[in-house]
Structure 1
Amino acid sequence: MALHPRARALLDRSHRLGSDPRNTNYAGGNASAKGAAPDPVTGHDVELMWVKGSGGDLGTLTAEGLAVLRLDRLRALRDVYPGVEREDEMVAAFDHCLHGRGGAAPSIDTAMHGLVDAPHVDHLHPDSGIALACAADGQKLTADCFGDTVAWVPWRRPGFQLGLDIAAVKEANPQAIGCVLGGHGITAWGETSEECEANALRIIRTAETFLTEHGKAEPFGPPIEGYGALPGAERRERAAALAPHIRALASQDRPQVGHFDDSPAVLDFLARTEHPRLAALGTSCPDHFLRTKVRPLLLDLPPTAELTYAIERLGELHTAYREEYAAYYARHAEPGSPPMRGADPAIVLIPGVGMFSFGKDKQTARVAGEFYLNAIQVMRGAEAVSAYAPIEEAEKFRIEYWELEEAKLRRMPKAKPLATRVALVTGAGSGIGRAIAHRLVAEGACVVVADLDAASGAAVAEELGGPDRAVAVPVDVTSEAQVVDAFKAAALAFGGVDLVVNNAGISISKPLLETTVRDWDLQHDIMARGSFLVSREAARMMRAQKLGGDIVYITSKNAVFAGPNNIAYSATKADQAHQVRLLAAELGEHGIRVNGVNPDGVVRGSGIFAGGWGAQRAATYGIEEAQLGEFYARRTLLKREVLPEHVAGAVFALTGGDLTHTTGLHIPVDAGVPGAFLR
């Protein structure tokens, strides 16, 4: 069915507004359009409203993300509205106003759009508008900024009553193009889609200009001596060192993925005298504190403080944070309130270093950080012309522990098995490593694609979905410094590492008398030394995180099977196989499991075979190289060719949750080679 012209214009307007972060934050705000369309039963025109549904994002909104409602039914709800104490019941009533099948669930802001008497309505969360909305004298500032063209609506929690309030304000102010919602954001309206968009942008840009022209030069106060930003390289070095320890704190209730932001706005805020006071006040806009919690955890030390002391102090502050959060819950919880969801911070601020944000996945963590950056800009604007005065704590609690938000959480799909896990896979730019990276991402993990070939690694990271799912790190596993740097990159990208796959390798296939010392050393440097270096750094980070972890070695059938002309490769694989046993015994007390996978005959897609080893092995067996996969399959019990995806499946079996009590195991993935049976 063709999309109604009003709905198409609404999508186009939404995309333009949502693509500019000055207009609204990610997934924040909503837009609507009203118009006539035929009723599918009677064929007569009825008045409809298309509005962004619950959980969508304006910048990426699709037709499926729109809720479509009959206006006559929606407006008739005014006659049955039971009052503000029971207004949550109205959300369920929206379902009885829906037109047709499909579409998104109506959001809490549906009433605002339906009750306001205008064909087009935009509700947005721009930093400039929220700065006025959260200023101590926001009503006066709104009048100073806009005159009578923009009205003021005092704070009210989103819902049916807020829709009635805005509708009444519009009716009482026919000259107004929109309003500022205290503690919340802005709403604009218009007779056409173009006029509505122009009015929304006029409010936003006028507020920006007002704050710039009337604001003081240093709204956050003068700099604090010693709290300035560390130089770039030193700053990121410090951040990488702190990241796993901070992730441990943020994951005490449940594991979290991290994101790091050292943008100038964050660093400047943390370098100024007023930042402790403002951070303690917390965020205000409902979209902000739903993702950032009511306030962040703030380290009260300069960036030059001794690292171990900073880590110790963070632990003390975390204990106090959890106690205060539990007290906050106890102060405001009522018998029907949802249970406390956890007392760990979502935002951790480190002066001179930056901001760490946390969530159930990388996107959630990144967006939480973006929202706190929005909050900093709101504080800046409010402090520039007045004083930042967020909504009171009790109202924040009503939003955070709103039953409607709880219901939204219950509707979320079940988490994938590897959700919140961060994996680092060596040799992930091709073959088995690439297949493992794809499987881990498919099961919910974030992946660091570590490969000697930077271009191949970057290509795989892009295949996997980009930086919210995977990042590429060029690394030579024989270099201690490069391995350390790879884990630092993982810490900055995702907060740490929980799952490591030692897959990088080469194979030099020669008889004993033709194997040179250089061949032997190169083979052992890459696989034995490389696995040792990677596992050592993984254990160091996993112990700091206190979340346990998995280390998986991709060894080989050759670790236990004696084949011809393969001394360097097979001896190295035996070394790796014994590393599995040794590390399983040593790291078990830290909840770190170490296991191995023994593949054989993985020809298709293999970087090793493509690099010349396939031709060497084919020559050894007296066959054509193209027949090698089939040759390996024929000699197995199952007569099946082993593919990279089969090895990836074994890695997932070891790390995906069911084998929680297994460590020190080697799983053969060779289609059945009796000589390689483990015994």
Structure 2
Amino acid sequence: MSGTPTNLAAVNLAATHLGATNPTAAELIARSNRLGTDPKNTNYAGGNTSAKGTEIDPVTGESVELMWVKGSGGDLGTLTENGLAVLRLDRMRSLVNVYPGLDREDEMVAALDYTLHGKGGAAPSIDTAMHGLVDAAHVDHLHPDSGIAIATAADGEALTATIFGDTVVWVPWRRPGFQLGLDIAAIKEANPQAIGCILGGHGITAWGDTSAEAETNSLFIIDTAAAYIAAHSKAEPFGPALDGYGALPEAERRAKAVALAPTIRGLVSTDRAQVGHFDDDAVVLDFLGSTEHPRLTALGTSCPDHFLRTKVTPLVLDLPADASVEESIERLQELHEQYRVDYQAYYDRHADAASPAIRGADPLIVLIPGVGMFSYGANKQTARVAGEFYVNAINVMRGAEGLSTYAPIDEAEKFRIEYWALEEAKLARLPKPKPLASRVALVTGAASGIGKAIATRLAAEGACVVIADLNLANAQAAAAQIGGTDVAIGVQANVTDEDQVQASVDAAVLAFGGLDLVVNNAGLSLSKSLLETTVADWDLQHNVMAKGSFLVSRSAARVLIDQKLGGDIVYISSKNSVFAGPNNIAYSATKADQAHQVRLLAAELGEHGVKVNGINPDGVVRGSGIFSSGWGAKRAAVYGVPEEELGAYYAQRTLLKREVLPENVANAVFALCSSDLSHTTGLHIPVDAGVAAAFLR
């Protein structure tokens, strides 16, 4: 009984600190963030770090040895406490006694759940055993380009000895898992002088007695490998330049990228719709301009993190940079068909009864000599990161070829990881896609009012959004409020200017790979009677809304048709398109023009799977740029009410007695573009709270 007060005090102390970051964990997070934010050290979401320390067990009041390790699916550069898995080290190491061997290794991941401390934090990753079994307080496992270059060189083991002596040890390729953890633990024990190892075909692992020492050792391996490659690499690792395959001038390659992008996106979306990312960095262009790029791309990537994001091999256009767009499209279609056949054959060669179903046979990386790289994914971030991973792969190939010969892990091993049951389980844990996931939207006049509400709603439902507005600064500010550039971008577009309209569509194509959903919202109004309306007044309103909508729809339709994925065009018309109100001749006439464009385009574009619909709002006063620019005051004067009461006045004349807000219009846009209205085209939806005079007839 004499120990009880002490234990109770410890329990109380632990309870006091519940939820507070343990100092060891805090130090680990700081180290992880430093390592993860520098791309020379590791790729996005690649690698993992750990730290071992003690904490009071709230149940027993006793000190317990724990391990904090980056959990499954996290990113070192942005790691927080929520991204750490927390395990009881004694229980984790006791798994050695029940390890059933390589044939049943996957069972060990499920067993890790029984070693968690408390709620355990994030789900433990497949690399957890490596961190727990290695006898070091701090361990880093990273995927640096320089380290993987040595790991994928044909004579990587000899290079490791030459570069590092006995301070860094070579570990032959083994699939990540419990046995790899045992292997590295044994190597460390047998080599007390070593600070880390090169993992064949994979990456590096380093350790230290302190967090600072582990970080120093990791950086030493990375920087030493990079310095050796720089000093000893052959002059042209990818061979001499391939005649005709060099980079096109920037304006020319961007124009060709825009011309090819819709077709490519349609091809790679054969199994499921994907968002795209374009990269014409010099690293990509130089690689594609070399004689060895066909051989190297066929070998595929090696590091598991790379090919899980990029697929094993890319699709590579085998035409020179100056090939015409038409010739390139025809060849891409042929290559895509062959890619799907080859990928199915790859799956069939290696799949067995226990393998997950094929996840799709389309490429995720498409390389166009002279132009650049298109990468694809379920969303913009995934597409962008896939491209970053392939740049990593190019850097790895350069380093390996510069010193030796690039020799990635064999195809069977790649398949075992790509179609690993554990990888399938990780995919199953992903949240269900939002309704508009993988769709790309362009909204005009979207920096304020109705347009901003529409853009915000579409982004919230999973779409990537291009906010086009007359004022670039306002468009960019609105995009920043909605999300980062993986969600929304702002572009300048005077919809009366044909070139600016085309530029805004081109921006959507280059930013997100294509276009699926267009909202013609840009507008203005001048409240004048017939006799007060000048020709300039008439032309201005017709140019912005009638001509502007035509220009936007025409440019967008070219992309929608080339993609062959269908799509939506939505016109924000007005109840005034059918309702004859006073002192509104130019505005109402142009809204009627827009309303008929809906019917005309629905009839014309239906064969391409493109739906065209319209929305007829009543006056939207709150947040409206039109109303705040003088239109509201004039309409209030027409109806004899104070301007600040105009919204309430409009509401009282409706059947539902409700004011129409920007969000109400945004809701209708979402409904039209959702799968629930997949068979609706040529329709105008009133969003006017019930204006009997504007009933559609």
- TM-score interval, smaller chain: over 0.9
1:114 to 132, 142, 146: 132
Q: Does 1:317 align with 2:317?
A: no
> What SS does structure 2 have at the residue aligned with 1:658?
helix
- What's the counterpart of residue 398 of structure 2? 380
1:373 aligns to what SS in structure 2? helix
Hey, what does 2:544 align to over in structure 1?
526
Deviations 1:512-531 (A, max 9, x none): 00101111111101100110
Counterpart-to-counterpart distance in 2, 1:325 and 1:669: 49
Identify the residue that residue 195 of structure 1 maps to in structure 2: 213
Q: Does 1:539 align with 2:584?
A: no
Match of 2:490 in 1: 472
Partner residue of 1:389 out of 381, 404, 407: 407
AA of the residue aligned to 2:224: T
CA distance in 2, matches of 1:286, 1:232: 33
> Equivalent residue for 2:657?
639
Matched, 1:271 2:307: no
Q: CA deviation at 1:543?
A: 0.6
Give the one of 604, 611, 627 matched to 2:629: 611
Shift of 1:612: 0.9
1:417 maps to a residue whose letter is P
User: How far is 1:539 from its partner?
Assistant: 1.2
Which residue does the alignment assign to 1:87?
Answer: 105
1:212 aligned to 2:195?
no
Paired residue type of 1:192: T
Are positions 1:142 and 2:177 aligned together? no
The residue aligned with 1:670 is 688
Whether contact under 8 Å (1:584, 1:663) holds in the other structure is yes
> Aligned partners of 2:403 and 2:473: how far apart in 1?
50
State how 1:24-43 maps to structure 2 within 5 Å.
Answer: 24-43=42-61
- Is 1:443 the equivalent of 2:458? no
SS of the equivalent of 2:511 reads helix
Please say if residues 601 and 633 of structure 1, whose CA atoms lie closer than 8 Å, have aligned partners that are also in contact.
no
3-state SS of the aligned residue for 1:647?
Answer: helix
Q: Which amino acid aligns with 1:474?
A: Q
Other-structure match for 2:571: 553
Query: SS in structure 1 opposite 2:166?
Result: coil
Match of 1:303 among 296, 321, 325: 321
Query: Residues of 2 paired with 1:14 and 1:637: CA distance?
Result: 60
Percent of aligned positions that are identical: 75
How far the C-alpha of 1:233 sits from its partner, in A, is: 0.9
Please tell me whether residue 50 in structure 1 is matched to residue 68 in structure 2.
Answer: yes
Amino acid at match of 1:203: I
CA deviation profile, 1:194-231 (whole Å, cap 9, x unmatched): 00000000000000001001111110011111111011
Q: Any runs of at least 4 consecutive aligned residues in structure 1 with deviations exceeding 2 A, and if so which?
A: none
> Would you say the 8 A contact 1:557–1:668 is kept in 2?
yes
SS at match of 2:118: coil
SS of 1:33's partner is strand
Consecutive unaligned residues in structure 2, runs of 5 or more: 1-18
CA distance in 2, matches of 1:214, 1:228: 26
| 1:428 correspondence with 2:446 | yes
Which whole-Å CA distance do the structure 1 matches of 2:120 and 2:528 have between them? Answer: 64
Q: Distance in 1 between matches of 2:119 and 2:413?
A: 36
1:505 to 513, 523, 530: 523
The amino acid of 2:495's aligned partner reads V
User: Is the 1:524–1:572 Cα contact (8 Å) retained in structure 2?
Assistant: yes
Deviations 1:558-608 (A, max 9, x none): 001000000000000000001111111111111100001100120000010
Give the match's secondary structure for 1:239.
Answer: helix
Corresponding residue for 2:678?
660
For the residue of structure 1 that corresponds to 2:50, the secondary structure is strand
Q: Find the aligned partners of 2:469 and 2:441 in 1 and give their Cα distance.
A: 14
1:255 corresponding residue in structure 2: 273
Structure 2 match to 1:361? 379
The count of aligned residue pairs is 679
Q: Secondary structure at the match of 1:602?
A: coil
* CA distance in structure 1 between the partners assigned to 2:384 and 2:184 by the alignment: 33
Tell me which of 257, 274, 294 is aligned to 1:239: 257
The equivalent residue for 2:418 is 400
C-alpha displacement at 1:458, in angstroms? 0.6
SS at match of 2:675: coil
Normalising by structure 2, what TM-score? Answer: 0.97
In the alignment, what sits opposite 1:97?
115
1:102 offset after TM fit, Å?
5.0
Aligned to 2:91: 73
Separation in structure 2 between the aligned mates of residue 378 and residue 516 of structure 1, nearest angstrom: 66
**Alpha-carbon distance between aligned partners in 1 of 2:251 and 2:482, rounded to the nearest angstrom:** 28
Partner of 1:166: 184
> CA contact under 8 A between 1:491 and 1:497: conserved in structure 2?
yes
* Alpha carbons 1:64, 1:102 under 8 Å: kept: no
Identify the match of residue 39 of structure 2 among 15, 21, 27: 21
- How far residue 84 of structure 1 moved from its aligned partner, in angstroms, is 0.6
Any conservation in 1 of the 2:87–2:120 contact (CA below 8 Å)?
A: no
Aligned to 2:24: 6
Query: Match for 2:306 among 277, 288, 293?
Result: 288
Where in structure 1 are there 5+ consecutive unaligned residues? none
C-alpha separation in 1, matches of 2:387 and 2:487: 17
Alignment of 1:554-633 (within 5 A): 554-633=572-651
